[in-house]
Amino acid sequence: MPLILPGNVGSATAATGYNVANSVRFNGANHDLRIAPGSVSNRRTMTISFWTKRSNLGGNGSGLIAGWGDGYEGGFASMIYFNDSDQLEIDHDIAGADYNFHSDMLFRDVSAWYHIVIAIDTTQGTESNRQKIYVNGTQITLTETALGFPPENFDTFFNNTLTVVGSSGYEGGSGAVPEYSGYFSEFVMIDGTALAADQFGEFDSDSGIWKPIDVSGLTFGTNGFYLEFKESGTSQNASGLGADTSGNTNHLAVTALTATDQSTDTCTNNFATMNPLDNQIAGGTFAEGNLQVTSVNTGYTYNTSTFGVATGKWYWEVKWSAQPTGSSNQVIIGVAKRPTSSTTNYLGVTAWGYGYMAANGNVLLNNSNLIGYATYSIGDIIGVALDMDNNRLYFSKNGTYNNSSDPANGTNPISITAADSVIGDSGFYFPAFGDGNDSLQETGQFNFGSPIHAISSGNTDGNGYGNFEYAVPSGYFALCTKNLAEYG
């Protein structure tokens, strides 16, 4: 079973007739989607619904959606974002006033998908009915700050002259909210109607898990849109990442996003990523939806992933993408049963980790027994096949398994200790990445099935999940919640 099974992963653990195929991955760095509507529409009544998985916590990488009006560079806007305390915040800034409130709930799970619905109707006489937030199907408590709820018949800046997804839209200045770092799927803007969460999702009758439903039949209104991220182009049309599939053709323009930012990590099939919460000792730098890790240049240790496994057979790939000029190939790729406990515990040196080292091709096994495999270099892709049913581990280099091993047939494996819990161990194995040198920075790009780098061939597992450079061994599967529900 997985160590982390996010509570709202849709059909990953609950039967459903509706599956979401795609998401978009934002990495900050001026990434956004935006549209300047042809006309101003209903600024008082609207609904914004989306599923999201965060990559960063705190205010860094926090901007979700913003609406702007004439003179928007001057700071007149409605913005929704995660604040420095990881609360969801809604802020309407106008001249001389700031109508602002935030959730009491904190959003600090970087492994799970959240469904968020913001329903706004300032025509309501009761102020608490003018703005509502639903998270995973349940309305949450809000706390007023500044002037709190906007007055009756207040004109927000949504459905105005500019809408920006994944950013505040304010290029510079003290009013800017950092561009989003994380994933979006099923992003909906409803113009003219304030809807409850049950128009976008439902609780599964068997498991009680909140899951998405088909929203294509909703009335989206003049400036409304529905982003399914089905296409990977960069133009503002039906072939772009910002294509509107509501029927309105309100396509959003793409800023700094590319085809590799289209992802199959969604609210109905959640893929593993590397875990920025396991970083207090390693001090690595995370990017690209937590699928890229760069080790720190002081100390030498490792980072682990969000999902750990104790049963089943699993496959993933790691591309060694960068290192400093003149470095000595100190990258280490492998698995670990627990987070690192020291800045000088490189992967494999302790009794709870196994590390395949680039410099000499050795695999350090449980603090002993070096096995000589092929060395590897920048640009090489290391395949990792982990058999937790038989406690076996295999490494490939660019599709060729070391020592003539064969994961599908179980030949010539690296034998690993069982994942049983002992003092300090989790009872699970986690994908891991690090280096073995005190002054180097190594960068690895993880492909758990939804890669951040271009794939030339394209291979899925036996269930049809994932997009891998090399063939997935028969009987092995991508680390995603649909597979974990079946084999984990």
What pLDDT digit, counting tens, does each position of 135-155 carry? 999 999 999 887 878 899 999
Burial class (CB in 10 A: 0-12, 13-18, 19+), 38: exposed
Q: Cα 70 to chain center, whole Å?
A: 33
pLDDT exceeds 80 at position 364: yes
What is the band of 246 on the pLDDT scale with cuts at 50, 70, 90?
Answer: very high
List, as own/partner pairs, every contact residues 391-397 make where C-beta atoms lie below 8 angstroms and the sequence separation is at least 24, other chains included. 391/415, 391/416, 391/417, 391/418, 391/419, 392/416, 393/334, 393/335, 393/354, 394/473, 395/333, 395/356, 395/363, 396/470, 397/373
- What is the distance in angstroms between the CA of the first residue and the CA of the last residue of the chain? 4
Lookup: tokens for 165: 């997804």
Q: Which two tokens stand for residue 121?
A: 């109707």
List pLDDT tens digits, range 396-407.
999 999 999 999
Greatest mean pLDDT range, 79-83, 100-104, 460-464: 460-464
Mean pLDDT of 211-224: 97
Strands 45-54 and 114-121, bridge-based pairing? antiparallel
CA 50 vs CA 14, 230, 351: distances in Å: 20, 15, 43
Pairing of strands 142-146, 302-304: unpaired
Higher pLDDT, 372 or 194: 194
Band of residue 437 on the pLDDT scale cut at 50, 70, 90: confident
**Residue 43: left (phi > 0), alpha (psi -120 to 50), or beta?**
alpha
Residue 444 has pLDDT above 90, yes or no: yes
Find the range with the poorest average confidence among 57-61, 255-259, 269-273, 330-334: 57-61
**Bigger pLDDT: 454 vs 7:** 454
CA dihedral of 461, 465, 468, 474, whole degrees rounded to 10: 0
Greater confidence (76 vs 219) lies with: 219
Q: Is the pLDDT of residue 336 over 70?
A: yes
Structure tokens belonging to residue 44: 């008082």
**Mean pLDDT to the nearest integer, 267-283:** 96
pLDDT at 486 over 50: yes
pLDDT of residue 75: 60
pLDDT at 460 over 50: yes
Which residue ranges form the domains of the chain, and what is each CATH number? Answer: 10-263 (2.60.120.200), 285-487 (2.60.120.920)
Could you tell me which residue, 257 or 169, shows the higher pLDDT?
257
Phi-psi group of 464: left, alpha or beta (phi > 0 → left; psi -120 to 50 → alpha; rest → beta): left
Q: What pLDDT shows up at residue 12?
A: 47
**Mean pLDDT confidence for 216-233:** 97
Query: Which residues pair with residue 90 across a beta bridge?
Result: 80, 101
Residue with tokens 């396991």: 278
Instruction: List Cβ neighbours of 249 (8 Å cut-off, separation of 6 or more).
Output: 238
Concatenating the DSSP letter of every residue in 331-354 gives: EEEEEESS---STT--TTSSTTEE
Q: Are 304 and 395 within 8 A, CB to CB?
A: no
pLDDT at residue 309 tops 90: yes
Mean pLDDT, to the nearest integer, of 398-420?
94
Residue range 36-56: average pLDDT?
A: 95
| Stretch 337-356: mean pLDDT | 91
Percent of the chain with pLDDT over 70: 92
What pLDDT, on the 0 to 100 scale, is given for residue 22?
Answer: 98
Specify the 3-state DSSP secondary structure of 129.
Answer: helix
Query: In terms of Cα–Cα distance, which of 44, 40, 66, 53 is closest to 6?
Result: 53
Contact (CB, 8 A) for 319 and 379 = yes
Is residue 6 over pLDDT 60? no
Q: What is the pLDDT of residue 60?
A: 74
Count of CB atoms within 10 A of residue 375's CB? 14
For residue 460, what are the CA distances in angstroms to 32, 432, 469, 471, 487?
29, 22, 9, 7, 16
10 with 268: CB under 8 angstroms?
Answer: yes
Higher pLDDT, 221 or 62: 221
**What pLDDT is recorded for position 326?**
58
**What is the residue-averaged pLDDT of the chain?**
90
Q: Is the pLDDT of residue 8 over 90?
A: no
- Output the pLDDT for position 13: 46
Q: Provide the pLDDT for residue 16.
A: 53
> How would residue 456 be classed by pLDDT, with cut points 50, 70 and 90?
very high
Where helices occur in 238-298 by DSSP H, the ranges are: none
Q: What is the pLDDT of residue 167?
A: 86
pLDDT at 229: 98
Query: How confident is the model at residue 115, as a pLDDT?
Result: 98
Question: pLDDT-derived band of residue 69, with 50, 70 and 90 as boundaries?
Answer: confident
Q: What is the mean pLDDT of residues 75-91?
A: 90
Closest residue by Cα to residue 477 from 263, 198, 272, 327: 272
pLDDT in tens, 377-386: 999 999 999 9
What is the token pair recorded at 232? 């990977």
Q: Which of 22, 9, 16, 54 is nearest to 467 (CA)?
A: 22
